[in-house]
Structure 1
Amino acid sequence: MIAETPFPVSIALVHYPVLNKRGEVIGSAVTNLDVHDIARAARTYGVHRYYITTPYGDQRDFVGDIMSHWREGYGATYNPARKEALEIVRVVDGLQEAIDELTAAYGRRPLVVGTSAQAQDRIIAFADLGQMMAAGRPLLLIFGTAHGLAPEIMATTDAVLPPLKGRTAYNHLSVRSAVAIILDRLLGQ
């Protein structure tokens, strides 16, 4: 599928290495809802690729079963819109595999931008990132599962978006919600 935005934007949902609530590095399980809900949001906003990263074979098989059902099985005829959304999904062992694939596709490394519910170094404002995107720089947005991306993943980013903030101190969005909000801020009309 060719990107529908004038600038190539891809996203990655990282399942390892991520943090648990105690700040320990773990691998998290892929959830069914994250697979197709994020794919639907990504497709709506013209995202080129949605990478699901997990080094665990059983988790990759799980995603493969979901995608097979909706892209080739009964689900493909029952819900063609979901089939279309899942066409942009790729399952990879790790983040570097996604970066390498995008680098090969575009002839240069994408700008790798992390996300976090916590304040981080190297913050890039949404408006500044929008200007870089408008200049045609390929972009890979990275989202973490569990309690966020591990430090070793954050260290590979070129920049980090500011945390999403509501009107209260409560700050525990689902990753599906965070993806949708960030895509709307960057790619919405």
Structure 2
Amino acid sequence: MLNHNVFIALLHFPAMDREGRAIITSFTTMDLHDIARPARAYEINTFYIVQPVDAQRAVIKKQIEYWSSEEGLKTNPTRAETVKLVQLAYNLEEVIEDIQNRRGRKPKLVGTDARTYPNTVSYEFLKREIEKRQEDFLILFGTGYGIPPDLMNTFDYILEPIYGAGDWNHLSVRNACAIILDRLFSKNRC
């Protein structure tokens, strides 16, 4: 796996509602496949789904079990391959602890947002840091109206926002994840 030092996590908690209050968001079945596929294409180590609600976790586990089963493998072998990357966690601390236990060091935390922060970095900067292979990186994706600013301010880095042709940059987390992974890891960037 080329990017063995890179992990990604989709945070359903903490997330924000439109008024900026901390909430838990619901899992969307498309997120599992539409984030696991680019994670596999760009050879990311692990895709964590952070979901503390047991009923939601049961839905996620059922999906993973189905696509990992013999029937799922026959139905769509590529989905079986991508769900191997998915791991469930109750909270961000569990993700960090898992990476630390597996890799022997705490990962650098990289937030993503449509806004800029004092520690915002460019894709080129982060790409160079990752390519050194001296650190592990956990790239965090928010749901709802994003990751709360008080948590964002604790991260080592925040990736610069994705800007399109104009000033509108409110993308789905699935789209944002694919674009960010492409900007960081694609071989055919111009």
* TM surpasses 0.5: yes
Q: Is the 8 A contact 1:116 1:161 kept in 2?
A: yes
How far off is 1:17 after superposition? Answer: 0.9
How far off is 1:109 after superposition? Answer: 0.8
Q: Is the 8 A contact 1:7 1:133 kept in 2?
A: no
> Aligned letter for 1:33?
M
Unaligned runs of 5+ in 1: none
Match of 1:161 among 159, 162, 168: 159
Q: Size of the alignment, in residue pairs?
A: 186
Q: Does 1:82 align with 2:83?
A: no
Structure 1 match to 2:2: 5
Q: Is the 8 A contact 2:4 2:45 kept in 1?
A: no
Q: For 1:56 and 1:117, locate their aligned partners in 2 and report how far apart those are by CA, in whole Å.
A: 26
Counterparts in 2 of 1:38-77, with a 5 A limit? Answer: 38-72=35-69, 74-77=71-74
Q: For 2:94 and 2:73, locate their aligned partners in 1 and report how far apart those are by CA, in whole Å.
A: 28
> Aligned letter for 2:71?
Y
Q: Does 1:146 align with 2:144?
A: yes
Match of 1:175 among 168, 173, 176: 173
How far off is 1:155 after superposition? Answer: 3.1
Q: For 1:162 and 1:82, locate their aligned partners in 2 and report how far apart those are by CA, in whole Å.
A: 30
Structure 2 match to 1:27: 24
> Aligned letter for 1:14?
L
How far off is 1:78 after superposition? Answer: 0.9
Q: Does 1:95 align with 2:79?
A: no
How far off is 1:73 after superposition? Answer: 5.2
Unaligned runs of 5+ in 2: none
Q: Is the 8 A contact 1:18 1:27 kept in 2?
A: yes
Identical-residue share of aligned pairs (%)? 36
RMSD (Å), alpha carbons = 1.2
Q: For 1:52 and 1:73, locate their aligned partners in 2 and report how far apart those are by CA, in whole Å.
A: 23
Q: Is the 8 A contact 1:19 1:146 kept in 2?
A: yes
Once superposed, which parts of structure 1, at least 4 consecutive aligned residues long, lie more than 6 Å away? none
Tell me the alpha carbon deviations over residues 105-133 of structure 1, each in whole angstroms, 9 at most, x when there is no partner. Answer: 11111111000011222111111111111
Q: Is the 8 A contact 1:115 1:142 kept in 2?
A: yes
For normalisation by structure 2, the TM-score amounts to 0.94
Structure 2 match to 1:111: 108
CA distance 1:97–1:126, shift in 2 (3 Å): same
Going by fraction, where is strand more abundant, 1 or 2?
2
Q: For 2:3 and 2:123, locate their aligned partners in 1 and report how far apart those are by CA, in whole Å.
A: 17
How far off is 1:153 after superposition? Answer: 2.6
Q: For 1:8 and 1:180, locate their aligned partners in 2 and report how far apart those are by CA, in whole Å.
A: 18
Q: For 1:99 and 1:181, locate their aligned partners in 2 and report how far apart those are by CA, in whole Å.
A: 24
